[in-house]
Structure 1
Amino acid sequence: MENFDWKFTIRVNIMILKIAGLWPKGTEIYKCNLYTLYSIISINLFINAPNFFQAANILFIYTDLEALTALIFVIVTELMASFKVYCFVRNIAILKSLMAELDKKIFQPKNEQQRDLIRPNLNSWTLTYVVFWIPVISNLIMWAIYPIVDGTVKEYRLPLSAWYPFNTKTSPSYEITYLYQIVAIWFLAITNLNMDMFAAALMMYVGTQCDILCDDLRNLGTCAETEYNKKLLDCIQHHKTIVKFATQSNNFFSDVALGQFFASSVSLALALFQLTLVAPFSSESYSLLFYAFAMTVEIFLYCWFGNEVELKVSLMISF
């Protein structure tokens, strides 16, 4: 039977990470090559630099509670995205080895029944991926257009509050900075989304392996006596491999998950507070609502897929 391609489900996820500079080609890690140079430029230009300019603006608006709140809830999310990028780059060798592990024979479904068994898990991840795009894209569009919709573009208002070492109240500096902010926030948000979904994919893979192992254990009783011991040893080895895969996955996203829960909770609280300060039914209020929804979904990802793994492990232990 042809090998099952585990990475096919997350192919778009990996492609976007590659475009963002977070996924070197094939099984490679970062080396002294053009892709590494591209990664350094893109990460610093579209993630780290905007974080610096926005954080620097705190020094100029710290006496204005409304402006300060509006700035901080965005900065917290962006700093968390920078931390996730750092974890991704630092652990790229682990992530590459995990993807290589999936291609091993021991992780392969052994028949069509097992393939049918794991498809709902893969489809669940795909559906979540698609749904997660909705609040993220909606929020990005609202951020991009609300100065235009509100008419504040005439006052040279930027989508995001930030300090720059030049005057943004004149043309063409204003238009260039406006475009730079839009490109940067889209780059950061989409990269952040795909890093979260990659962590969810690792949890999803652990769950599917638990399903395969449970099916193997369930069918042990139908094996001939001569095959029983071999099948049992295969199940034990499969269990050890799943535990190793899960442990390596935890080494990657345990710190990320902790930071994400903290950052999302703070950002969500500040965004809801900011919602009480803006005019109802304004473009800014809709932007805050979409942002709050995106933060909720981001927390939901880790809770949902983590709970699925816990349930499947509990079922596996019951055998």
Structure 2
Amino acid sequence: MPSIIQQSFSVSLRAMRFFFLYPPDKHKTLYRICTHVMYFVFIVPFPSLQFLNLVLQENLDFSQIADNVFLLAEIMCFLPKLYPFLGNSERIKKCIHYFDGAFFEVVRTEHEEILKQCMKMCRGTAILFLVAVTGAYISWSTRPISWKNHIFPVDLWMPYDVKTAPVTYIVGTYLYILAAAAYGAYTSGVIDPLIAGLAYQATSQIKILKHKLQFLSEHIIDEVGKNTKLDAKGLNKLMYEKIRKCIIHHNLILEFVTEYEHCFSQMAFSQFVAAIIVICVSCLQLTLVDLLSLDCLAMVMYLITMLSEIYLYCYFGTLLYEESNTITDAIYLGKWYEYDVKCRKALILLMERAKKPMLVKCGHKIVDMSLDTFSMILRRSYSLLAVLESFNE
């Protein structure tokens, strides 16, 4: 039977394996070589050629500069976002499958329902995001149809004259642009819901932990049986063992959050920084293009996709924070007043440990993965948009 992670992220994991970002159990060296080749062929040259065009091109008007900066910011974010997969793919893979461990297996129906809801959310998010990325990619790749005096969907510096070059050069360059853009778009499109979904997996584990802590007495009665007679000492011993397992469960979730932050904080931070520029320039582009043109459709699709990317991170990061912040409430709602002194002391230790909520930091602890960061990104984008609008006028 497929594991929880495989059921939750089957689409993302298959796509990552196809793009050489998910190392197999065999032929790891060959797979790592392919990962480096894909990165340095499709990720590195694309922004370099764009930057050269922006620096060397003469007589660029404001709309051309805005369009180049818009795409350059997004493509540049792929460099730090995918770089961890070059040398840290094994650790990332272990972090992805962290909750496949034997300790996280559930037997109670209530806990299975929590995991089913989590898996459904993760699968739906991954599929919806792939559809959005596909729509944005198609609308962007067909831009030359309505883009006058342009052959490619993006301005790049080329070592030949595009107007007089042979058709084979044009076709080859166009295919390379489409391949490089597809690699960046789809790898980002499968990584983002995966990273956000892992935060939701941790949130679901906290929900299970809270349910265990709130109904400790009821669970013991269900397991032992109402007709089985145990003395107070035996019940207290079972209760303490249950609390001890809850503490271990909490520690394992904390360890995951630490590992999760180490593996994915750089990816999330690069997306946040690029989002400020991309959202700003996208809104600016919408004021410069015809509302009934394909350019307008491409900008709208791209803007929706970008907002969805950063919202996923921030929303699921906030859910993780809020659930971890209510562990002490779950303990208080239980029948702690019926436990012996040893059990209550153990619960007090857990409550003290749980006073510090699980808040994921991004970019070497620069910003939080929360909805406050999402609103901050929107504010910074609006501020930059106001500056560019005044400069354009």
Question: Do they superpose with TM above 0.5?
Answer: yes
Q: Does 1:283 align with 2:294?
A: yes
CA distance in 1, matches of 2:248, 2:191: 30
C-alpha separation in 1, matches of 2:179 and 2:96? 30
Paired letter, 1:22: L
What corresponds to 1:299 in structure 2? 310
Partner of 2:264: 253
**Residue 109 of structure 2 is aligned to residue 98 of structure 1:** no
Aligned 1:120-135 pairs, distance under 5 A? 120-135=117-132
**Aligned AA (1:229):** Y
- The answer to whether the 8 Å contact 2:199/2:317 transfers is yes
Are the counterparts in 2 of residues 13 and 198 from structure 1 also a CA contact under 8 Å?
yes
Alpha carbons of structure 1 residues 185 and 233: separation in structure 2 relative to 1, 3 Å: same
Question: Does the 8 Å CA contact 2:80/2:266 hold for their aligned counterparts?
Answer: no
- Check whether the contact 1:5–1:103 (CA below 8 A) recurs between aligned residues: yes
- What amino acid does structure 2 have at the position aligned with 1:235? C
Asked if 1 retains the 8 angstrom alpha-carbon contact of 2:11 and 2:126, the reply is: no
| CA-CA distance at 1:77 after TM superposition | 0.8
Alpha-carbon offset, residue 147 of structure 1: 1.2
- For residues 130 and 198 of structure 2, the distance between their equivalents in structure 1, rounded to whole angstroms, comes to 19
Higher RCO structure, 1 or 2 (CA under 8 Å, sep 6+): 1
Kindly provide the CA deviation profile for residues 77-108 of structure 1, in whole angstroms up to 9, marking residues without a partner as x: 11111211013334323322224432222111
The secondary structure found in structure 2 opposite 1:172 is helix
Q: State the aligned residue count.
A: 312
The 2-side partners of 1:36 and 1:89 are apart by: 7
Give ranges in structure 2 of 5+ residues lacking alignment: 222-234, 332-393
Give the Å deviation of 1:4. Answer: 4.8
Q: 1:156, CA displacement in angstroms?
A: 5.3
Is the Cα contact below 8 Å between 1:118 and 1:211 reproduced in 2? Answer: no
1:52 offset after TM fit, Å? Answer: 1.3
Q: 1:280 to 1:236 in 2, by over 3 A?
A: same
Are residues 1:20 and 2:19 paired? yes
Q: Deviations over 1:21-64 (max 9, x none)?
A: 211103x7x95x32122112211111111121111111133743
Contact 2:81 2:268 in 1 (8 A): no
Residues 3 and 69 from structure 1, CA distance in 2 versus in 1: closer, same or farther, beyond 3 angstroms? closer
1:97/1:215 Cα in 2 relative to 1: closer, same or farther (>3 Å)?
same
Choose the corresponding residue for 1:264, options 272, 275, 283. 275
Cα offsets for 1:183-237 (capped at 9, x unmatched): 2111110001112122112201111111111121122122251411111100001
Is the 1:51–1:78 Cα contact (8 Å) retained in structure 2?
Answer: yes
Q: Contact 2:5–2:97 at 8 Å: present in 1 too?
A: no
Q: Which sections of structure 1, spanning at least 5 residues, go unmatched?
A: none
> Aligned pair 1:77/2:93, yes or no?
no
Normalising by structure 1, we get a TM-score of: 0.91
Please give the alpha-carbon distance, in whole angstroms, between the structure 1 residues aligned to 2:89 and 2:30.
17
Q: Helix, strand or coil: the match of 2:31?
A: helix
Other-structure match for 2:35: 39
Q: In structure 2, how many angstroms separate the alpha carbons of the residues matched to 1:16 and 1:4?
A: 18
* Correspondent of 1:199 among 195, 201, 218: 195
CA RMSD of aligned residues (A): 2.0
Preserved contact between residue 4 and residue 119 of structure 2 (Cα < 8 Å): no
| Alpha-carbon contact 1:213-1:235 (below 8 Å) kept | yes
TM, length-normalised to structure 2: 0.75
Q: Structure 1 residue 168: deviation in Å? A: 2.8
Q: Which amino acid aligns with 1:50?
A: F
Evaluate the alpha carbon distance shift between residue 151 and residue 159 of structure 1 in structure 2; reply closer, same or farther with a 3 A threshold.
Answer: closer
Aligned to 1:175: 171
State the percentage of identical aligned residues: 24
Answer yes or no: is the 8 Å Cα contact 2:210–2:327 preserved in 1: yes
Q: Which has the larger radius of gyration?
A: 2
Q: Which residue of 2 aligns with 1:138?
A: 135
Q: Distance in 1 between matches of 2:132 and 2:260?
A: 27
Partner Cα distance (2:196, 2:278) in 1: 21
Distance 1:232 1:292, change over 3 A: same
Rounded to whole Å, the distance in 1 between the matches of 2:98 and 2:174 is 44
Contact 1:54 1:162 in 2 (8 A): yes
1:158 aligns with 2:157: no
